[in-house]
Structure 1
Amino acid sequence: MLRIFGLAFMFVCAVIVGAVSSAARANHVLITEDEAKLPPAKGAIAADRRGITRGPKIEVVGDREQSHSPVHLQLRFESFGGSKIDPESLKVIYLRTPNVDLTERVKSFAGVTGLDIPDAELPPGDHLIRVDIKDSDGRTGSTSFLLKISP
C-alpha cells in the first residue's frame, strides 16, 4: 500500500513539473489577432524622439524586419547624468485606432536595464509600437519602432 502511494505521489510530481515546464516554454502573446486587425493610427510613424536631452535612451536590440513569430523582443534602456531608470514608469503602446496598451503584458519582462521578451507572439504584418520610460529625475525617453512579421 505504501509503495502504491509512493508511486502515485511521484507520478503527480512528474505531471506538475511537466506542466510547469510547458508553461515556462509557452510563448508570450504580445499582440492578438483581433488587435492586429484594428486600423493603423493615422499619421503614426516610427521615430526616435531622442533629440538633445538628458532623458533616458531606448534602443531596440536585434533585427526588427522580416522576422517570424515568436520573436525575441529586446530593448535596452540607458540613463544619463547619474539618474536611474524607473521601470515602474514604463508604457508600451501598440499604435492602432484605438491604441492598445501593452504595458501590463510586458511589465514582468522589464527592469532597469531594459525589456527582454524571449518569445513574443505577434500575428503577421507590420506592428508599430511606442515605448516611453522615465528616469529618477522625471525626464522622459520615448521611441517608436516597427516590427515586421512575415507570414
Structure 2
Amino acid sequence: MKRNMLLGLVAAGLLAAGSSRAAPLITEEEAQLPPPKGAVAVDQRGIMRGPKIEFVSPGAPASSPLRLVLKFQSYGGAKIDPESVKVIFLRTPNVDLTHRVKPFVQPDGINMHDAELPPGEYTMRVDIKDSDGRPGTTMFTLKVAPK
C-alpha cells in the first residue's frame, strides 16, 4: 500500500514537472535555416469538401512560450484522421515538426499551450485528411516577439 502511494506521488510529480516545461516547437538551429527559395507549393486540387484548417492563435506577435491553436473542420459526415496530421516548418530544407506536435493533436484541432520558439517569423504548413481520404492544407506565419 505504501509503495503504491509512493509510486503515485512520484508519477504525479513527474507529470507536474513535465507539464510546466515549455515544449520546443522550433530550435535555435532550425530557426537559422534559410527560407525556402521560390514559390511554396500548396496542394489544392480543387477538392471542395475536404477538411478545413483554421489558424486561431496567436493572432498577433507573441512572446515565447506561446499558445498555438488550430481548429479542424470536416464536412459531409467525415471525421478528421488525427494520425494524418502533418506539420512542416518551411525552410531549406523543410523541418518536419509532426512528432513535436503529435501529443497536442485532437480530432478537432491542435492545442499546444507552451510552444517554445526563438524570436522571428516562421512560415508553417499543416496537412490533414478526413476519414474519406480528402486532404486539407493551410499555411500560416507565426510571429514571435523578443522576450
TM-score of the pair, normalised by structure 2: 0.85
Is 1:66 the counterpart of 2:38 in the alignment? no
After superposition, give the CA deviation of every residue in 1:5-60 in whole Å (9 maximum; x if it has no partner).
Answer: x8xxx999766644432222111100000000000112356x89597610000001
Which stretches in structure 2 are left out of the alignment for 5+ residues? Answer: none
RMSD: 2.6
Residue 107 of structure 2 is aligned with which of 105, 109, 112? 112
Q: State the partner residue of 1:92.
A: 87
Q: State the partner residue of 1:53.
A: 48
Identity of aligned residues (%): 56
* SS of equivalent to 1:137: coil
Contact 2:67 2:114 in 1 (8 A): yes
Distance 1:73 1:137, change over 3 A: same
User: Which structure: larger Rg?
Assistant: 1
Task: Please tell me the residue identity of whatever aligns with 1:56.
Answer: P
Distance 1:115 1:48, change over 3 A: farther
The 5 Å alignment of 1:2-151 reads: 17-44=12-39, 53-151=48-146
TM-score of the pair, normalised by structure 1: 0.83
Task: Tell me whether 19-28 or 136-145 shows the greater mean CA deviation.
Answer: 19-28
Contact 1:50 1:141 in 2 (8 A): no
Count of aligned positions = 143
Contact 2:50 2:130 in 1 (8 A): yes
Moved over 4 A (4+): 10-17, 47-52
Contact 2:58 2:69 in 1 (8 A): no
* SS of equivalent to 1:119: strand
Task: Tell me whether 116-125 or 18-27 shows the greater mean CA deviation.
Answer: 18-27
Find the aligned partners of 2:129 and 2:118 in 1 and give their Cα distance: 29
Task: Tell me whether 97-106 or 18-27 shows the greater mean CA deviation.
Answer: 18-27
After superposition, give the CA deviation of every residue in 1:69-128 in whole Å (9 maximum; x if it has no partner).
Answer: 011001100000111101111110000000000001111110110011000001000000
Contact 1:127 1:148 in 2 (8 A): yes
Find the aligned partners of 1:12 and 1:134 in 2 and give their Cα distance: 40
Which stretches in structure 1 are left out of the alignment for 5+ residues? Answer: 1-5
